[in-house]
Each structure stands twice: as C-alpha cells, then as structure tokens.
Structure 1
Amino acid sequence: FKGENDPDVEGGLASANKWKRLGTLLSGPFMNILTGILLFTIVISQTGIPQSNMVQIAGVAPGSPAAEAGILEGDMLVTINSEDVDSMEMVSDRISQNLGDMISLTVIRSGEKMKFSLVPRENPPEGEGAIGILMQNPVEEVGFFRAIPFGGRLAWEQVKQIVSVPVLLIRGQVESEEARLLSPKGIYDVYSHVREEERTIEDDQPSLNIAWFFGVISVALGFSNLLPIPALDGGRILFILPEIFIGKRVPPKYENFIHFIGYITLLVIMVYVFYQDFANPIQLR
C-alpha cells in the first residue's frame, strides 16, 4: 500500500484515520475467508450434505447374515435392538457387542418399516464384517443458496482445526510431520496429489476436490493473516487497538521497527520451510 509505514505520506495508508486503516487491513483476510466459504458452498451444492445422524445400507455381501435375513442395499437403518440409530459408529458398536447373539434391525424401505432378525458372525470372511453390510450417511441435495450456511460452518471448522493444532501437538495426538508448515512448493505438491486423484473422476464431473483444496487454503490464509504477529495484517491491527480504545497512537518508528523484526523472522522461517519442502518433501498417501 502507498505510505503503508509512513504517516507523513499524504493519502497513504498510515496517514488515514484509524477506522480506514482497520477496514483496509481486515479486507484482505475477509476476502480470503469469503472465497473459502464460496468454494465450500459450490462443492456442497454439487455433492449434497451427508446426514451424519442417519445410516443407509450401501451394500450387502452375498451369503452374509444381512443378505440371508433379506436386508437390501438402499435400506435406511432406523433401530437396532429397539434402540434408535444415530450414527454408523453406534451401529458398529452394537453389532460388536452382540457377536453370536440374535439382534433385531428395523429399516425403512420405500417408506415402509420392516423388521429383520439375524446373528452377527464371530469370525466373518475378511472385508465383510460381522453381518456383511456396508454403511453410509445418506446425502441431502441442496441448492446453492441453501448451501451457504453450511459453507460458512465448514470454514469455521477449518479455523477451529488450525487453532487446535498446537494443543494436539503438545498432547502428542498429532505427529509433527502431519502439522508441518508448507511453502508454496509444499502446497503445490499437495495440489498435484489432489489433481491426480481428480483424474480418477469422470471427465464430466466438476473438479470438486480441487475446489475444496483451494477453499481450505483460502480460509487458512485468511485466518493466519489475522493472527497478531508483527508484519501480518493481524499484527498491524494490534497496533491500531490502543488508538481505538485509549485514543493514543503507538509512535510509527516503534511500530515499524517491530514489524521489521517480524518480517525478518517470517522470512527466515519461510526459507527454512522452503528448504524442508525440497530436502524432505511431504509424504502423501
């Protein structure tokens, strides 16, 4: 920006009033986050919203207890042993708790409730599971405008994940390799992996994986830029707060010095991250 650091430059950012400076500094991260929400919304409007509290039968293994009982692909599982089904994990747990014992399942098929009894196997064939079913969450189709709140919710989930990473690292719940910073080279490596996966999708399908990837990147950039770190927008906003709350501006020479130190520190970190991405490229499955 013109006059970003010098309040003596007429018409420059530093010479503007506190509210204009605040608005200008917020606009960049806001647009990044808004772009992420837009991309998430586009993806959701094309793929629908998984109903995580509902369980649908996605497949039935031939000769399995489920097949012998008469359960079909597409059935909606509503109860197990008279207990309401609210997740795939709950179904798996109840089946595991009743290996070798009779259980009852209630499904909805074509709007009609049907009840089946079967015995989960203790030693099922590899890859089939105790009763021989594949489960999925049914998907609700939504239009673009209905998808917007869900796009915003996904952006918020991304922000929460970013905030939780340091805590998870300290607790040892996440490996440092999984939470490493990425340079543009590392981001390109991840993009290439996503692009390769996208090629397995039919040509007439939209590039939803890529849209999702850039949505994650946009939200991460927007939020990270708001962190109160010198040289970033969040760090500059931090120096505006005294002016807003106590009416006194931090002397520009001190503010500029702190931002300079922050800039050099970020530059050193970026050089190190670049080196890591070339010397030890991120491993993707």
Structure 2
Amino acid sequence: MQTAIAFILIFGMLVFFHELGHFLFAKRAGIMVREFAIGMGPKIYGKTHGETIYTIRLLPIGGYVRMAGEDMDGTELQPGYRVGLIVDEDNVVKKIIFNQNNKQLPDLLFLEIEHADLEKELFVEGYDEEEKLIRYNVARDCILVENGRETLIAPYDRQFNAKTVGQRAMTIFAGPLFNFILAFVIYLLIGLFHGVPTYEPIITEVVENDPAAQAGMLAGDRVVGIDGQVVEKWQDLAAIVQDHPGEDITVTVERNGQQVNLNMTVKEIKQDGEKYGQIGVKYESPREFNPLKAVVYGAQETYSMTVRIFELLGMLITGKFTIDALSGPVGIYKATEQVAQYGFINLMNWAAMLSINLGIMNLLPLPALDGGRLLFFGFEAVRGKPIDRQKEGLVHFVGIVLLMILMVVVTWNDIQRFFF
C-alpha cells in the first residue's frame, strides 16, 4: 500500500509539473485552456475555475492540457440549426442553446441560423419566429449550451493555432522544461535539508577480509593518493581502483595527522563480461549545510543526471541496450518499491531522476511527443507557413498508435520480468 501511494504521489507530481509548464505558458500567450487534467481515462473529480476545468482522472499514466483550437475544438453553427439565444441589455448574445427541449426554456429568443461566425467576426444571423432576418453580435465570453453541457466559445485570437510559432513552441517546450526545473528544485531541497555531499574520500567502513582490511586500512582514514596520483574526491578513489583489477597498488591515507602507505592487491570482479577492481570499503559522504552550495549542487546534479540519461539513450540507439532493458509503469512501480525501502531521501533522488527522464523522453523528435510537435514548428519557421493540419494530425496519430504498441510491449516485458 505504501508503495502504491508513493508511486501515485511521485508520478502525479511529475505529471502535474509537466502539465503546469504547458498551462502557464499557454496562459501567458493568451491561449484559452479548456482543461487541466492529471491522469487519463474517466473523470473522477472536476472543478471549474474561470474558463478552465481542473480534473483528476482514473488512470495515473499521464495527463494533458486541452487548449482551445486543438483537436476539432470549435463548435460550428450550420445553416438551418434552430437555437435559443440569451442576450444582454445591448442585444449582445451571452448564451446560445441548441439540441435541447425548447419547451423547458420559454423565455429564449429563437433563431434559425442562416450565417454564423463564432471565431473571428463573432455574430449569428438568422430568422426569428416572425421569419425576419436578424443579426446579433456575440460576446467574447459567450457560452454554448448543448444537451445541458456548457462550453465557452474561443475567439480565434484565444486559440492555440492563432499564436506565433515562438509562442506555440514555448508553450509546448515548457512541459519538459518544468520537469528539469522540478528535478533542480528536488536536488536543491535535498541539499538544503539533508546537506550537500562534500565527496571527501574518508572511509566510512572497511569490509572484513577484503584487500583494504588486510592492508590495515581503518574507518576514518582519509585517502590522499594512490600510486602517486592525488585523490581529492571519492570519485577519484573509485575510478582508480576500478581501473586496476588484480593489480598491486599503494594507497596513501591520512590518519591522526600523519600519512600512512598501505600496500594491497585490488580484488578482480567480473560482471556482464567486464572486469573492474574493488578493495572492500564502504563510503558515505560527509555533508555540509550551505544555501549557496545547495543551489550549485541542485544544478550540478540536474546536469549530471541529464548527461547520464542521454548516454543511456545513446546506448539504446546504438544497440548496446535492447528494448528488453526498457521499463514501463510496472517496472517503474517495482523500482519505486525497492527505492522506498532505503528512505525518503533516496525516494526524492529517484523522483528527480524520473522527472529528468520524463523531460528528455518528451523532447525526443517523435510524433505525438512534445519533441515531435516542436519539430513541426521548426519546419513551419523554415517554410514560413504551417504544414497542413490534417497531414500533421495524421503523423501524430500514427505516432500515438506506435507509442501505445511500444507501451504494451514494454509493460508485457515488465510483467514477465517481475511476475513469472
């Protein structure tokens, strides 16, 4: 149960910040946001505030920001439609009602539509009960009511496609950007409240009967050099040892203000066909509490993890990893279960890594992902005009289908790996 709660909270946080990026920059560009959704599938909660409905949906596998002008968003009033109008004192239409029992609304002004434009010119024109042709201006905040469901109209200048390439691109890019910002904030908070690791090469524990113990190394020793190479950080120590499996080395440590040379033979470890060295020490970095260093730590950790994920992605592209190495929601859930056993800080580090991973994956130039949409914006900027919307929509639809197939394959691999 705790794992399920941790998974839902972490995944919900990642999706929330991703969609928050889209939402804030859409608002900044003047785009009407119809829905801000966390989760997919059936709605289990919804609250309308202003022109946006905020929803939580059943399946915790994503989220979306639905903007005006996307995915056949507009409602078109065709000639011959019979509608009811509610107008203000200036005869400006505030509400248009259609596909509803007119007998329940006796006070409406009825109109048989002849012409209508609810995007640019904002008017409706048609025949009233006396067969007289009348034209009404439509308010920018006019509400359409269809079968009891209310929808705010979206004037063209409030629609996504009406904005400049730069505004649209920034709105889409902001989702992945906020995932990187979230990761930075998590690392920053870890640095502020848990301390910034100094990575000083001070031995925390020596494993009995391993090379370090046999050579006389003690907990608290500070390694200052190996075979004449200066060791300043723990990473220096680990790298040198790993690169010398089976070899004799001299480790210089500082103990009680004096330097002591320890001779040992590095243990050879084989894993996945590779050899690396080990001397049998355990390490936990000392930490310091410094707000400025916490900011630097947050930036460094975000950058380092970003580089690491790109390296892993490169291995996948070059075939060093296969699709079997990928994990979907099931694999992430199981990994979260394992990480949660090691405490809250490790769980937060895991959340930061997942946030960066989500940001990078969404920036890949693949159809249906944010990166794919940015690619089309790039083509539009070069050509000076947008690519045909239907063709672009078809490409994204094919991309969604392929991504769903990949998700099914990855999820099946996860199920086989963990449950069979």
Question: What is the match of residue 57 of structure 1?
Answer: 203
- Which of 355, 360, 370 is the matching residue for 1:233? 370
Amino acid at match of 2:254: I
- Structure 2 residue aligned with 1:186: 331
Residue matched to 1:114: 259
Q: Kindly indicate whether residue 153 of structure 2 is the aligned counterpart of residue 87 of structure 1.
A: no
Larger Rg: 2
TM-score, with structure 2 as normaliser? 0.51
1: CA distance, partners of 2:338 / 2:253:
39
Equivalence for 1:212 = 349
Which structure dedicates a bigger proportion of its chain to helix?
A: 1
Relative to structure 1, is the Cα distance of residues 119 and 213 closer, same or farther in structure 2, using a 3 angstrom cutoff? closer
Secondary structure of the structure 1 residue equivalent to 2:160: coil
Q: Is the 8 A contact 1:230 1:262 kept in 2?
A: yes
2:216 & 2:399 partners in 1: Cα distance?
Answer: 66
CA distance in 1 between partners of 2:245 and 2:318 (Å): 32
Q: 1:115 to 1:156 in 2, by over 3 A?
A: closer
- 1:223 maps to a residue whose letter is I
Q: CA deviation at 1:21?
A: 0.7
Q: In percent, how many aligned pairs have the same letter?
A: 27
Work out which of the residue numbers 20, 23, 39 in structure 1 matches 2:170.
Answer: 23
**Does the 8 A contact of 2:363 with 2:372 survive in 1?**
yes
Q: Equivalent residues in 2 for 1:33-48 (5 A)?
A: 33-45=180-192, 46-48=194-196
| Aligned residue identity for 2:336 | Y
Q: Which runs of 5+ in 2 are unaligned?
A: 1-66, 75-118, 120-153, 268-278
Query: Which structure features the higher share of strand residues?
Result: 2
For 2:382, the equivalent position in structure 1 comes to: 245
Tell me if 1:3 matches 2:77: no
Residue pair 1:60, 1:66 contacting (<8 A) in 2 also: yes
Q: 1:269: Cα distance to partner?
A: 2.2
Q: Is 1:152 aligned to 2:218, yes or no?
A: no
3-state DSSP of counterpart to 1:87:
helix
Aligned match of 1:224 in 351, 357, 361? 361
Q: State whether residues 207 and 213 of structure 2, in contact with CA within 8 Å, keep that contact through their aligned partners in structure 1.
A: yes
How far does residue 277 in structure 1 lie from its aligned partner after superposition? 3.2
Give the whole-Å Cα distance in 1 for the aligned partners of 2:205 and 2:409: 48
Query: Aligned in 2, Cα 1:83/1:72: closer, same or farther, shift over 3 Å?
Result: same
CA RMSD of aligned residues (A): 3.7
- 2:339 aligned partner, one-letter code: V
> Match of 2:224?
78
Give the residue type in structure 2 aligned to 1:2: A
Contact 1:75 1:109 in 2 (8 A): yes
Asked if structure 1 preserves the Cα contact closer than 8 Å seen for 2:187 and 2:298, the reply is: yes
Deviations 1:95-149 (A, max 9, x none): 95338xxx5x543345x23335x554799xxxxxxxx873537434243442233
**1:3 aligns to what SS in structure 2?**
coil
Letter matched to residue 251 of structure 1: D
Q: Give, as a single letter, the amino acid of the residue that structure 1 aligns with 2:370.
A: D
Question: How many correspondences in the alignment?
Answer: 258
Q: Aligned equivalents of 2:300 and 2:161: distance in 1?
A: 35
Give the structure-1-normalised TM-score: 0.72
- How far residue 16 of structure 1 moved from its aligned partner, in angstroms, is 1.9
Instruction: For 1:146 and 1:235, locate their aligned partners in 2 and report how far apart those are by CA, in whole Å.
Output: 37
For the residues of structure 2 that align with 1:175 and 1:265, how far apart are their CA atoms?
A: 17
Q: What is the DSSP-based 3-state SS (H/G/I as helix, E as strand, rest coil) of the residue aligned with 2:365?
A: coil
Q: Give distance in 1, aligned partners of 2:212 and 2:393.
A: 70
- Report the 3-state secondary structure (helix = DSSP H, G, I; strand = E; otherwise coil) of the residue aligned with 2:386: coil
Deviation at 1:30, TM superposition (A): 0.9
Write the distance in 1 (CA, Å) between the matches of 2:210 and 2:369: 59
Which of residues 243, 252, 261 in structure 1 aligns to 2:398? 261
Equivalent pair of 2:202/2:220 in contact (CA under 8 Å): yes
**Structure with more contact order per residue of length (Cα contacts < 8 Å, sep ≥ 6):** 1
- What is the rounded CA distance, in whole Å, between the counterparts of 2:372 and 2:280 in structure 1? 53
